Amino acid sequence: MRLSFLNPESRTAINVTRLRKYEYETNKIIVDWVKSLVTLVVLADGTPDDQMVGVLSYHLNGNQVVGVVKPTERTHLSVLYELKVYLNLGINKVMVLIDQEDLPLSNLFGQAEDIMKEIGIKLDTKEEKDRVGVYQCSLASKKFEIIIVVNGLSEVCTDKHSIEDHLTKAAGIEVKGNSKDSWETLKSKHEEEVFRKFKRKRKEIEKLFPQQVSGFKRLTDEH
């Protein structure tokens, strides 16, 4: 799986390109140009979510190209208000990667569903399992799929669940307060060691990021 950025000059694109410093071959992650896209990853939060999407792309098989975007004016659940914009580009499958924060999972999925209904999306069917919600949807005559993947690990003791839950677990850090703050206190050398380890150990990626791997496989029809 390789990535195509809707905005190649965005901070998201730059951050993924910076995986080079951890010895990733970014030509295996990024494509410079693609004629059209039918699948898209929407990042509800910024960094290090974007870099982890790059790492996951590096390890997942297949030649499918997936679009990536981080809406500039919206964060967290509000990125769902941009869905109709992306659907109008010809996208028929969207994966939204979002931090749980301090919301119960049922509340997060409920609020996401309310927003989709608010903007006119009809939710025809729903599957929910292990922090992944999959919705078969329609808008007028268009049929499409929305996949919501919620970052966080229940075994990490933190005030707010986020992608940093997975990173602190990988680094063996004891979380104090919340995982985001604990990860940010890590010195750059140790952060580099974690990302280099990710490059070498695919099996560890699958254990540390189970819902993200599941979501990407669903996105690329490998489930």
pLDDT for position 189: 74
Assess if residue 215 is contained within a domain. Answer: yes
* pLDDT averaged over every residue in the chain: 93
Could you tell me if residue 9 is left (phi over 0), alpha (psi between -120 and 50 degrees) or otherwise beta? Answer: alpha
pLDDT in tens, 197-212: 999 888 889 999 999 9
Total residue length of the chain: 223
pLDDT for position 32: 86
Q: Which residues pair with 125 in a beta bridge?
A: 136
Q: Is the pLDDT of residue 160 over 90?
A: yes
Q: How many domains does the chain have?
A: 1
pLDDT for position 201: 84
Assess if residue 176 is contained within a domain. Answer: no
Assess if residue 89 is contained within a domain. Answer: yes
pLDDT in tens, 76-126: 999 999 999 999 999 999 999 999 999 999 999 999 999 999 999 999 999
Q: Is the pLDDT of residue 172 over 80?
A: yes
Q: Is the pLDDT of residue 33 over 80?
A: yes
Assess if residue 200 is contained within a domain. Answer: no
Q: Is the pLDDT of residue 222 over 70?
A: no
Q: For residue 39, give its domain range.
A: 2-153+206-219
- Which letter does DSSP use for residue 8 in this model? T
pLDDT in tens, 175-189: 988 999 999 988 777
Percent residues over pLDDT 90 in the chain: 82
Name every residue whose Cβ is closer than 8 Å to that of residue 166 and which is 6 or more positions away in sequence. Answer: 52, 151, 153, 208, 209, 212
Assess if residue 174 is contained within a domain. Answer: no
Q: What is the mean pLDDT of residues 36-60?
A: 94
Q: What is the mean pLDDT of residues 30-44?
A: 93
Assess if residue 160 is contained within a domain. Answer: no
Assess if residue 171 is contained within a domain. Answer: no
Compute the C-alpha angle 95/98/103, nearest 5°. 135
Q: Is the pLDDT of residue 223 over 80?
A: no
Name every residue whose Cβ is closer than 8 Å to that of residue 17 and which is 6 or more positions away in sequence. Answer: 26, 30
Assess if residue 149 is contained within a domain. Answer: yes
DSSP line for 118-186: HTT-EEEEEEEETTEEEEEEEETTEEEEEEEEEE--TTS--SSB-HHHHHHHHHTPPPSS-HHHHHHTS
pLDDT for position 61: 66
The CA distance from 52 to 50, in Å, is: 5
pTM of the model: 0.95
